[in-house]
Amino acid sequence: MIPIPPLKRRSYGYIGKEKPAPRQTTKLPKKRHAAIYWWHIVLFPLFIVSWILRALWRLRPKFAKRRAGSLWRPILRMGLAFSVASILLLTIFVVWVSRDLPDPDKLTDRQVAQSTKIYDRTGEHLLREIYTAEKRTLVDLEDIPKNVVDGVIATEDKIFFEHKGVRPLSIARSIVYGILGKNRVGGGASTLTQQLVKNAILTGERTLTRKLKEFVLSIRLEQVYTKEQILKIYFNEIPYGGTNYGIEAAAQSYFGKHVSDLDLPESATLAGLPKAPSRYLNNPEALKQRRDFVLARMAEEGYITEAEKETAQQSPVTLSQRTGDMTAPHFVFYVKDQLNQEFGERLVDTGGLKVITTLDFEKQLLANEAVSSSQKTLLEAKADNAALVAIDPKTGQVLAMVGSRDYNDLEIKGNFNVATQGLGRQPGSSMKPIVYALAFSKGYTPDTLLFDVSTNFAVSGAKEYRPVNYDEKEHGLVTVRQALQNSYNIPAVQMLYLVGEKDALEFAKKLGYTTLDAGNFGLSLVLGGATVHLLEHVNAYATFANNGVYHAPVAILRVEDASGNVLKEWRPNPGEEILNPEFTATLSNVLSDDATRAPTFGAGSILTLPDRPVAAKTGTTNDYKDGWTVGYTPSLAAGVWIGRTDNIPLKPGYGGSKVAGVIWNSFMKNTLSGTPVEQFPEPPPNTATRPILRGAIGGNVTVTINRVTGKIATSSTPAEDLVERTFIPAHSILHYIDKKDPSGPPPADPNSDPQYAIWETAIRDWILRMRKDNPDWNVAFEDPPTEYDTPDSLFLVPSLIVTYPTPNTTLTSRRITTDIQTNAPRGVAKVTYKIDGQLIDVITTAPFSLRAFLPELAEGQHTLTIIAEDDAMNRRIAEVPFFLAAPAELPGVSFVERNASFSSTQFPRTLFLNPYKPEQIQKISIYLSASDGSNRTLVTEVTDFKNLFNNQLAITLKQATPGNWLLTAEVVLLDGTMRAADSLPITVQ
């Protein structure tokens, strides 16, 4: 016998009495005859209106004091007329609504149920028949565990024993929702009595009239039956999914036991199941969340302890149910869930509907075959599950769906539809085309140059974020085409930063992704840091195949009732243009470029089809938990996911291409066999004017120049001055373009971008590594020339005489200095110094001499290149070979500035030093003295070398009187040794 919570209530039914004899029907004895029916509903608004009129009448004396022309009397008359009219209309409406309500005395007299049939798109292949037979075993209330009753009351209607069938606040809210929602009534807050009426008597349609009927009948039901009788009817009548009606049938079907034998976790599971049986039965993850929610509510209401709740929540949810053989079980239940949401479970289960779906039966068979035949490949990869979805890009219609490798395999939770349910899976690099498509729309091109070099993208002390490529290599300067087709991670992160994470998320949502609000993904979004559903992922690619026009996924073409009336019918629609066709043409051209991805995947890989172009992209998460391949032709988009249900990583090296790609290729090849070959639209030409957006293949620009003038060679260039040179931009793309407007003017101050210094440092470090590992690497890291050589170019070439060092000089110090003489008709703008092609410094003030400290330069033969250049890029080049014979430098520092000259008004002044082996230095002291060494004073001392800016030490010289001065840096090493490190002459004017 169920103890009733100690709430304020009258005595009900047989609780506390001798158990009544078993009945063969759920019809129960009346509590009393109902004396009042529909006009109960009228009394409530009548009371409200009368209260308003009474308040207005009390204010009448105040209205009378107003002048004769006052508006109050007309307003009062209008209010009175409106109130009377509202009462009349509401009364008529309630009478009309109540005219065909069933007698609650005949609540359990059920109509003969008819089966709903779900067909493929032709209507010839029956995919699933929802059986007319209803499994039901009646049980008494005292046979139902207390935990089941408590779970339902705590979750669905905690004041069940107090209300009279409805809650007034829920009435008001439903009416408001009905008005604001265009006759669609919001759910939630229904009483158990209302739920019983909706499930056992009315349909599940969400309209205002149906809701009013529900209110009226709920009140009448409470007048006829006791609370315990209503509970008994509830537990014996409501659907629990499939053919199971009533809780005893559900307990037998799902747990193989009588309802009286259910434990706490099982009781909570069945208590929460009726809210959406189809959804929960086909989504174990959602079912567990629902079960745990019920347990939490029971603990909050005091029905169970916290310890009992936590213990129950830790137990797994295992339901035993089999569907028999079906061609497309996951698709069928995906469709059934949509039908339930729109028409209600009762009508779907018993209404005799005829449902024509979008499923292409032949393609579904090929999808089943592609997945089932991959068993050997899956085993090699240590994967146990796979899913496949195919969509018609022109309509968004789902043509095939395989939600798991085997629907009936309980070990892999086969009934869970990986394609549509749960929180989704990480897509890995298959997310990159979304970001690159957005980039093309913003003005970036497939020829845009990006540096694929090791980069820590963290800003301002944030946790390090240094993505690596799948091959753990750096590929230097690459084009966007190369980066996307070879799936390089570092350029992809750069591109996400260029287009903006916020814009990328908004763009993805326009493409139909619904799982991107659950976290701050940062720059990892482009590498698959978020989670997606396979269905939505494939549909995004289908949008690219459809020239940028988006269609929401469609699974149902037509629904007819038992009489042949059409309840729902899909009609062609133009869709929504998300992306300009020229940008999708560009993306398709890149994704179908087999030659460009050949270095990584090999020519003619599984991402190609033998007789037609196809755009495709793979994706594998860094931990090898998920593998993807998604691709499309103009008429078919398909995607495959592979992995493990338990999220254990796959075998390293297996994932997107080796496993998912094999399944995808098999399906696409067999499905498209014998169909007309379709071509992608031609992409527009690259009309960008910025050189960084027009980079050559490979990221290098090789041109023949005049070695003297540095300009592009012409027919008038002397043959002895011709030289072929390869140029690589010396800076990241942030140096050349404004990321918000890549086609616009260059940024006025690139340093203002928080990533600029990070990217520049990464490039410089990569160049150092390349020089060290490849001594013969002869590449010029500077922008290629844009001007052409002319016959008069030599007249404007600067003169350049190198006095020191002379050719083949042996240098015994790592403090390298030069003495040069240079002049030009237009004036010398700068002198650039390089050693072995590596940039050392650029001097822009006379006398243009070099003063550099090179502690890491190897001993041996080197070449010093000096380039004197005017403002029109006329240049003179001198190359001086020299031999370095200097031992490794002791730890110390060197000043960055050269023979500094300042005005007295330019103080305080910040100067920079380059520390060498700072980990071995205890202290650095900076002294200021006269040029002869007198008047020596301490400027600053530095003992902390952890917060270097750009690997440099900054000091501030507050003031200095006019004259010639000398800054001296002295270091104290960890062993106490003190030594002079460097000095800087300063002239103050």
Distance CA 399, CA 361 (A): 8
796 Cβ contact list (under 8 Å, min separation 6): 824, 825, 826, 870, 872, 874
End-to-end CA distance of the chain: 103
Q: How far apart are CA 47 and CA 39, in angstroms?
A: 12
Q: Buried b / exposed e across 280-308, counting CB within 10 Å, b at 16+?
A: bbbbbebbbebbbbbbbbbbeeebbeeee
Half-sphere exposure of 744 (CA within 13 A, CB side): 7
Which helix (H) or strand (E) is 957 found in, with range?
strand 953-957
Residue 918 CB neighbour total at 10 angstroms: 19
Catalytic residue among 170, 190, 429, 588: 429
- Whether the CA torsion 464, 466, 472, 474 is positive or negative: it is negative
User: Residue 404 phi/psi, 5° resolution?
Assistant: -165, 170
**Rounded to whole angstroms, how far apart are CA atoms 760 and 315?**
53
Edge-first strand listing for the sheet containing 937-942: 900-902, 978-988, 963-973, 921-930, 937-942
- Provide the phi-psi class of 12: left if phi over 0, else alpha when psi is between -120 and 50, else beta: beta
Query: Can you read off the two tokens belonging to residue 580?
Result: 């300009």
d(CA 193, CA 234): 8
Coil/strand/helix, residue 398: strand
Is 156 tagged catalytic?
Answer: yes
- 429 is known as an active-site residue: yes
**Contact present, 144 and 259 (Cβ < 8 Å):** yes
Q: What is the DSSP letter of 25?
A: S
Q: Of 83, 156, 266, 592, which residue is the catalytic one?
A: 156
Report the alpha-carbon angle 168-170-176, nearest 5: 110
Q: At what angle do helices 146-156 and 227-237 cross, to 10 degrees?
A: 100
Three-class DSSP category at 179: helix
The DSSP annotation for 448-470 comes to -EEEES------TTPPP-----T
Catalytic residues: 156, 429
